[in-house]
Amino acid sequence: MKERWVGPSLSRILVLCGLLLSGTVQAQNYAPTASADLTLSARGNPRLVFDPSGTRLAASLTKTEDKGRVVFLNVPDLSEIRVVKTDTEPYALAFSPQGDYFGLSLARPTEKDDLRFVVLSTKGTEWSALYAERGLQSEVASLEFDPVGDLLYVGGADPNEIYRFVVGTWQRERIPSLEGLESPCRCVDLSPNGRFGAIGASNARVLVWPMDDSGKGSLLGSQQFKGSVEAVAFSPDSRFLAAGDSEGVVMVFYATPDGLWAWKSVFNLPDGGVRGLAVLNDSSLVTLSSEGRVSRWNPDSTGQPLESFDVGPGNALALAVDPTGRYMAVGGEKILLYPIVSSAPPPVTEMPAAPWTIVGSGSVDLGTQAPAVPSVKAATSEGVAQPPAPPPTSEDHGNLLLWVAPSASSADGQDWIQVWAGGMDEGRYSPLQLVLPYESLSAAVLRSNFGNLNKVLTPKDFSVMYAAGVLGATKEGGEASIAYGPKGEEVPLGEWIKAVETSNAIAPTLWFLDLRVGPNMKDDTALSILSGINEQLTKVEGKYKRTAMGVGLLVLSREGAYPELVGNLPDALSGKGDENGDGTLFDRELILYLADRCRTALRVTPLGDAKNAVPVLPPFRLGGN
């Protein structure tokens, strides 16, 4: 997916596109979409970070009035939605991959106070402190969760205090590949594929190590870097690693087939040292200099930047790019948000993951809420029991909810989405939500989203697909069609079938096809067409029971069955759908429970005989069943 900067107006965009062909674009009037008068902390990497959905921006702020603050800002307007208060200045920040944990490191206020970092649970509206580390001797310069969310990597200012902590038990582990590191850590990044980690050190070195502990770390850039390495960043595809130092030297490395790293390019920023860098989805590199110049580079041709603009030295402390590639933030004396526009169309509606849709206002004062959890060493010697391991995460259970709006009055599908997100996996179910609102529905939108299913699903997932439409007349060849959206654009039924089959071939799939009788169609005509649809859904090469379709519910009604489906869904997921009372809710049980409650429908047909467990955790039991 290629990306480019976009200016504040259409004429500006045209000028930029024209100049890109001839050389560097000096976008000196490049305007932010939003700004916030908030001053970042003096230390910590990163001190400005987006949440996994790209809809929230966390910032570590300088201490004022005897309190430090971490603020959470809404994207894209940068309105303040939550504050975490600390007794000292906060430094590094990190979100877990699912957004359900948030870590922050802290300055040391006094010799007696040895609090180093805190991990918060962000589930629900009332956040809570899960763990407070007090066993380290040095301040924590950098924090980073691994791509799965099982480990938290902690880079201490003391080279002997670079650890990984097991999420849940918070057991502290040394990293064998980093033995012998001689210089304090300045920054840490982990490759998205989970294979490598990288540390930027104050002795002008980058150390890359295998995260599976299969070998020793490798020092990179020993001849090229001149100052402290202030930023490291892997590319989204994990093929490249970029690093920059305080003297303005930037290096880009690539992974070789034998698991080593070789340098691809090296160049100097023309205006100060490196304060931040990031690799975009198109493999271009963005840098922030200490003089306040933001530039985008082609790593294969670094003679001059592709384009650049100034934010000023006062706003040159940190740079962050959101994981979806839509926005870039820079910060210093204030926080500025800039758009990055992709040439590929974005999803029709991008909604934040479940933990963020229920975030409310309010503050968490860590001075009173952070528990004094002993270090692992102290806990072991004193015989203190370790807390239990966390429940399975959304990496293990589900990541797709597809919702096609039934009508203009159905809003944004939050009633459907939140029931699933809250009822499954103890609220940790953090699905990718493909939500298609009614006013945006068209044949092109549906085909685009259906065509992307094989790009977002994995075998570990659980897929739930809901679509509503108006039943159309049978076309030549006997295939029915479904009309979607305000314009009633018709799409052949076969395209819905193909989408469900694609989903079910990758992961267990539960589907709902909620059809309404057309305005000029008689009930008996609609029922006759529905019989043909039922045959098309179940017939495979002359045989019946289309197992490739997973388990689903075909409903025909005059007004739509959505109110009955969504109204009974909470009870179904909370345990009432467990027909045999064995403590496990299977897809077929859930469908039958909801089918019995679609009482205004002309016809309700459960289809499919698979037996996949719906990931509701922990297993429930109904005493009366």
Q: What is the residue range of 534's domain?
A: 400-607
Query: Looking at residue 301, what DSSP letter applies?
Result: B
Residue 374 clears pLDDT 50, i.e. is over it: no
Among 118-132, 333-347, 363-377, the minimum mean pLDDT is found in: 363-377
Residue 487 clears pLDDT 80, i.e. is over it: yes
Domain-embedded: residue 353: no
For 520-558, the pLDDT digits (tens) are 888 888 888 888 777 767 655 444 444 577 788 999 988
Domain-embedded: residue 617: no
Closest CA to 124 of 365, 421, 461, 533: 421
Same domain, 581 and 477: yes
Among 67-71, 105-109, 372-376, the minimum mean pLDDT is found in: 372-376
Residue 580 clears pLDDT 80, i.e. is over it: no
pLDDT of residue 426: 41
- Give me the mean pLDDT over the 404-428 stretch: 68
Domain-embedded: residue 505: yes
Same domain, 223 and 163: no
E strand or H helix that includes residue 565: helix 562-571
CB 35 within 8 A of CB 335: yes
368, 390, 412 - which closes a domain = 390
Residue 419 clears pLDDT 70, i.e. is over it: yes
Residue 59 clears pLDDT 90, i.e. is over it: yes
310, 330, 345 - which closes a domain = 310
CATH of the domain at 143: 2.130.10.10
Q: How many H helices and E strands in the chain? A: 11, 39
Same domain, 518 and 407: yes
For 495-506, the pLDDT digits (tens) are 888 888 888 888
Residue 2 clears pLDDT 90, i.e. is over it: no
CB 248 within 8 A of CB 276: no
CATH of the domain at 500: 3.40.50
Domain-embedded: residue 68: yes
Beta strand pairing call for 363-365 and 463-471: unpaired
pLDDT of residue 616: 58
Query: Looking at residue 313, what DSSP letter applies?
Result: G
For 437-465, the pLDDT digits (tens) are 787 788 888 887 787 787 777 787 788 88
Same domain, 50 and 17: no
295, 310, 325 - which closes a domain = 310
Same domain, 130 and 215: no
- Give me the mean pLDDT over the 373-382 stretch: 27
Same domain, 140 and 51: yes
388 by DSSP, 3-state: which?
coil
For 269-289, the pLDDT digits (tens) are 988 999 999 998 888 899 999
CB 59 within 8 A of CB 50: no
pLDDT of residue 180: 63
Beta strand pairing call for 80-86 and 363-365: parallel
Same domain, 437 and 546: yes
pLDDT of residue 157: 83
Same domain, 487 and 588: yes
Query: What is the longest distance spanned by two Cα atoms in the chain?
Result: 82
Same domain, 597 and 490: yes
Same domain, 19 and 86: no
Residue 3 banded pLDDT, cuts 50, 70, 90: very low
Q: Between 210 and 159, whose confidence is greater?
A: 210
pLDDT of residue 111: 61
Residue 387 clears pLDDT 70, i.e. is over it: no
Domain-embedded: residue 615: no
Residue 190 tokens, joined? 């982990």
Same domain, 420 and 272: no
pTM of the model: 0.57
Same domain, 381 and 453: no
Domain-embedded: residue 618: no
Domain-embedded: residue 382: yes
Number of domains composing the chain: 3
Domain-embedded: residue 210: yes
Residue 394 clears pLDDT 60, i.e. is over it: no
From CA 342, how far away is CA 339, in angstroms rounded?
A: 10
Residue 129 clears pLDDT 50, i.e. is over it: yes
Residue 507 banded pLDDT, cuts 50, 70, 90: confident
pLDDT of residue 525: 86
CB 480 within 8 A of CB 472: yes
Residue 584 banded pLDDT, cuts 50, 70, 90: confident
Would you mind telling me the total number of residues written for the chain in this entry? 625
